[in-house]
Amino acid sequence: MTGRRPGRASSTWLLPAAALLLPFILLVGGGVHAWRNTLAEAEAALRQTADSGAEFGTRVLAGYVVSAGRVNDLTRGLSDEQITAREPSLHRQLADLIPDVPEAEAAYVIDRTGTALLAANLFPVPRDRPTAADRDFFVALRADNPPRFHISQVYVSRFDGVPFFAISRRRSGTANGLPPDAFDGAVNLSVYPHRLQPAMRRLLRREGDALALLRDDGQLLASTATAAPQGLAEPALAAAATPTGQALLHEGEWIRAVRKLDGFPAFAVASRPRDAVVAEWRATMANHLLFGVPATLALLLLSLRERQHQRRLEVANKALEDANLALQGALRTSEGNLKRAQDAAGILSFEMAADGTVTEAGGLRALLGLPPDAALDEEALLAALHPEDREAARTELRRLARDGGRLAAEYRVRLPDGGQRWVMLRGEAAPGFGPAPPSGLSLPGRLSGVAMDVTQRREAEERTALLAFEVTHRAKNTLAVVQAALRLTKAPDYASYVRAVEGRVAALARAQSMLAESQWRAGDLQALLEAELRAFQAAAPDRAGDGTGESAVTLAGPAVPLPVRTVQALAMAVHELATNAVKYGALSAPGGRLRIAWCLDAGWVHLSWRESGGPTLAGEPARKGFGSRVIEQTIRFQLGGRMEKRWGAGGLECDIAIPLAEEGAPATGPAGAS
């Protein structure tokens, strides 16, 4: 009786043991790797969010600092008594300034005792309320070495009860008779944190993340969450104030990325709960287990049956042969699928032998503009190309014949109808040599490649280059107009000059926006008039008491597409006409009205401008300003149109005729045009 050797019996269990141990090791290693990847992705996302938040915060705070300087300039050279005496007019100027500052709600000018002298959102300023002397920004600016500007903590307003934080700076250039470096009050811009939340939420990478702006002492300024990041205090922020200005913190249940705002004592903090990262990792591991556990069980079963498979070796060999045949069939199927995919994409394969003859799968002759029965060889390929591309193609083939390597070129093909097509060639020449063809070329072995029609792509590239040139050209023209407005605008004071220039630049901007929306094809006349007159209707006197209920401005006319060259010029002319109407004409009086009508006639648009109900006009003004010159130069010379003005007792009457042709038109309208 023979016994089974222990060594052989124990060795039969090595494969089942390995079938269990190896997947377990792989699972643990995969879990560690997946955790590192998940954590790294979360950290990268938080860094990007913190960087975006810091860029957003820097841009917003920089705008507030600049605006605080503009508020200070508004009261420069005035004493506290003069500011109080001129509070109505200064309040209106300050109220007009604040809407230009994003997310800002109010601005205050505060005297050296902490009492508000002037406010953008309150008139008159209630002086019976507690002063700002106890606010941190007032204390900091009153110190001997004050900061250039100060970001306050979040307070609840004593005027409207809304939380806010302030961007403040010292007043300068006052007429209170104090030394230049003495504290003489502060300029304060109030920002409501909840107005910053929508923009900050758009910077978040995923649901559940949070973004906050904090001062360098840990005080919360604004956050997408309902509370400040817990556990994040001044020491943690100080760790971020390294030469790189950023830090990554793992604190308890949170992962945070901290980024310092350039030039400001504040930080952007992006947070994600650790539980969210763990949940994402668990989802990844669940997918691994979904396939790993069945695979492990299958491997264990196979290892237990290994001895039976040994006895069935011949059957397994036969199955292997069958599998080999199946793989060959799958390979042929894959090649067929590849051929169909190439045909669908317009990709044609070809091979050029050592003697220059070309074999292709079909379609190459049509791509090259050759007859279906034409000979297909090297000379035929070169003859099909554009004469200017043949020498470059011949040089490339000689290089491949000499050195081999990759082919990557694009050539123009002449078509039988006189047109041309761009063909992209990609391929590689294999090593080896053969007999030289009649042309003297000797290709190494065989050149295998593909050809594809890329005409649409090349035409798109040309259109893109043309559009870039057009945008550059129009940008130069726009800058020239802005330069002229800056140089020629006249005004009695700085504020009036700023308003005049801003109005003209805004008119240009609205025209550019209209053209951009139409992809620089055309602009609509009525949309242009509505856009230009909207701001002036808001500036016109209140008409609630005139008893008519009618709008101050009425428009009537058909749809008229304006050429691109006409939009910007006509926008400037309408802006100047509306400016004069608000200052001196019908829109300057409560009962005044403006009616604009237009029609088309023989390729010309005729526009009628009628003002009524305004101040009585004595006749044509004695002096023409920059605006009047802009109107006449634009209509008559730049657009090649005509214009007639009449100053009646009820208001200005102006008739304008403009040609709609893209090219230059004569300076007079068609015969009989009104």
**Residue the block writes with tokens 């599998």:** 323
Q: What DSSP state is assigned to residue 111?
A: -
How do beta strands 347-352 and 604-612 pair? unpaired
Tokens of 435: 């007999």
Lowest mean pLDDT among 382-391, 416-425, 481-490, 516-525: 481-490
User: What pLDDT does residue 484 have?
Assistant: 53
**What CATH class is the domain 39-280?**
alpha beta
Q: What DSSP state is assigned to residue 591?
A: T
With CA atoms as reference, report the closest residue to 45 among 215, 184, 248: 248
Euclidean distance between CA atoms 285 and 37, whole angstroms: 12
Say if residues 669 and 604 touch (Cβ distance below 8 Å).
yes
Say if residues 526 and 555 touch (Cβ distance below 8 Å).
yes
Inform me whether the pLDDT recorded for 512 exceeds 70.
Answer: no
Encoded amino acid at 598, one letter: W
Between 464 and 201, residue with greater pLDDT? 201
Most confident of the ranges 162-171, 293-302, 436-445, 574-583: 162-171
Say if residues 36 and 28 touch (Cβ distance below 8 Å).
no
Confidence label for 187 from pLDDT (cuts 50, 70 and 90): very high
**What CATH number has the domain spanning 462-659?**
3.30.565.10
Euclidean distance between CA atoms 482 and 54, whole angstroms: 33
With CA atoms as reference, report the closest residue to 70 among 172, 185, 151, 143: 172
Lowest mean pLDDT among 43-52, 335-344, 528-537: 335-344
Between 214 and 568, residue with greater pLDDT? 214
Encoded amino acid at 516, one letter: A
Inform me whether the pLDDT recorded for 334 exceeds 80.
Answer: no
Confidence label for 628 from pLDDT (cuts 50, 70 and 90): confident
Inform me whether the pLDDT recorded for 163 exceeds 70.
Answer: yes
Say if residues 209 and 46 touch (Cβ distance below 8 Å).
yes
Tally the C-alpha atoms within 13 A of residue 317's C-alpha that lie toward its C-beta: 5
User: What pLDDT does residue 151 have?
Assistant: 92
**Residue the block writes with tokens 């939380």:** 163
Other Cβ atoms less than 10 A from the Cβ of 473: the count is 10
The dihedral through the CA atoms of 647, 608, 524, 533 has a sign that is: positive
Confidence label for 97 from pLDDT (cuts 50, 70 and 90): confident
Task: Please spell the DSSP secondary structure of 593-606, one letter per residue.
Answer: EEEEEEEEETTEEE
pLDDT per position as a tens digit, 574-594: 877 888 888 778 888 787 888
Say if residues 221 and 266 touch (Cβ distance below 8 Å).
yes
Q: Which residues, 6 or more positions from 157, have their beta carbon under 8 angstroms from its beta carbon?
A: 163, 164, 190
Tokens of 155: 């307070």
Domains 349-453 and 462-659 share a fold: no
Inform me whether the pLDDT recorded for 670 exceeds 50.
Answer: no
pLDDT per position as a tens digit, 487-503: 545 556 666 666 656 56
Average pLDDT of every residue of the chain: 76
Most confident of the ranges 91-95, 330-334, 492-496: 91-95
Inform me whether the pLDDT recorded for 668 exceeds 50.
Answer: no
Burial, 113: exposed, middle or buried (Cβ in 10 Å; 0-12, 13-18, 19+)? exposed
Q: Report how far apart, in Å, the C-alpha atoms of 409 and of each of 71, 84, 177, 439, 444 are.
A: 62, 77, 78, 21, 19
Inform me whether the pLDDT recorded for 310 exceeds 50.
Answer: yes
Inform me whether the pLDDT recorded for 90 exceeds 80.
Answer: yes
How do beta strands 553-556 and 593-601 pair? parallel
Confidence label for 8 from pLDDT (cuts 50, 70 and 90): very low
Inform me whether the pLDDT recorded for 347 exceeds 60.
Answer: yes
With CA atoms as reference, report the closest residue to 169 among 216, 110, 103: 110
Q: Tell me the average pLDDT across 68-94.
A: 88
Confidence label for 220 from pLDDT (cuts 50, 70 and 90): confident
Tokens of 143: 């110190």
What are the extents of the domains in the chain?
39-280, 349-453, 462-659
Q: Tell me the average pLDDT across 475-485.
A: 56
Inform me whether the pLDDT recorded for 60 exceeds 70.
Answer: yes
Euclidean distance between CA atoms 313 and 330, whole angstroms: 25
Euclidean distance between CA atoms 476 and 609, whole angstroms: 31
Q: Report how far apart, in Å, the C-alpha atoms of 253 and of each of 37, 119, 283 are.
A: 19, 44, 19
Provide, rounded to the nearest whole percent, the portion of the chain with pLDDT above 90: 1
Tokens of 28: 């643990």
Q: Tell me the average pLDDT across 105-114.
A: 85
Euclidean distance between CA atoms 278 and 208, whole angstroms: 13
Taking domain 349-453, whether its CATH number is 3.40.50.150 is answered by no
Between 62 and 105, residue with greater pLDDT? 62
Q: What DSSP state is assigned to residue 385?
A: B
Buried b (16+ CB within 10 A) or exposed e, 184-221: bbbbbbbbbbeebbebbeebbbeeebbbbbbbbebbbb
Burial, 657: exposed, middle or buried (Cβ in 10 Å; 0-12, 13-18, 19+)? buried
Task: Please spell the DSSP secondary structure of 242-289, one letter per residue.
Answer: STT-EEEEEETTEEEEEEEPTTSSEEEEEEEEHHHHHHHHHHHHHHHH
Euclidean distance between CA atoms 628 and 425, whole angstroms: 61
Confidence label for 14 from pLDDT (cuts 50, 70 and 90): low
The dihedral through the CA atoms of 403, 404, 408, 411 has a sign that is: positive
Confidence label for 453 from pLDDT (cuts 50, 70 and 90): confident
How do beta strands 210-215 and 163-170 pair? unpaired
pLDDT per position as a tens digit, 229-259: 554 555 666 666 666 777 888 877 888 888 8
Q: Report how far apart, in Å, the C-alpha atoms of 458 and of each of 381, 469, 543 are.
A: 21, 17, 58
Q: Which helix (H) or strand (E) holds 351?
A: strand 347-352
Q: Report how far apart, in Å, the C-alpha atoms of 433 and of each of 353, 397, 439, 440, 511 are.
A: 10, 14, 15, 13, 66
Q: Which helix (H) or strand (E) holds 390?
A: helix 387-403
Tokens of 516: 């951009």
Other Cβ atoms less than 10 A from the Cβ of 371: the count is 9
Euclidean distance between CA atoms 383 and 416, whole angstroms: 13
Inform me whether the pLDDT recorded for 143 exceeds 80.
Answer: yes
Other Cβ atoms less than 10 A from the Cβ of 248: the count is 15
Inform me whether the pLDDT recorded for 611 exceeds 70.
Answer: yes
DSSP-derived 3-state class of residue 426: strand
Most confident of the ranges 184-198, 435-449, 574-588: 184-198
Confidence label for 9 from pLDDT (cuts 50, 70 and 90): very low
Lowest mean pLDDT among 52-61, 255-264, 510-519, 641-650: 510-519
Inform me whether the pLDDT recorded for 145 exceeds 80.
Answer: yes
Inform me whether the pLDDT recorded for 278 exceeds 70.
Answer: yes
Query: DSSP alpha helices (H): ranges in 426-585?
Result: 455-488, 494-517, 525-539, 564-583
With CA atoms as reference, report the closest residue to 351 among 382, 387, 377, 384: 377
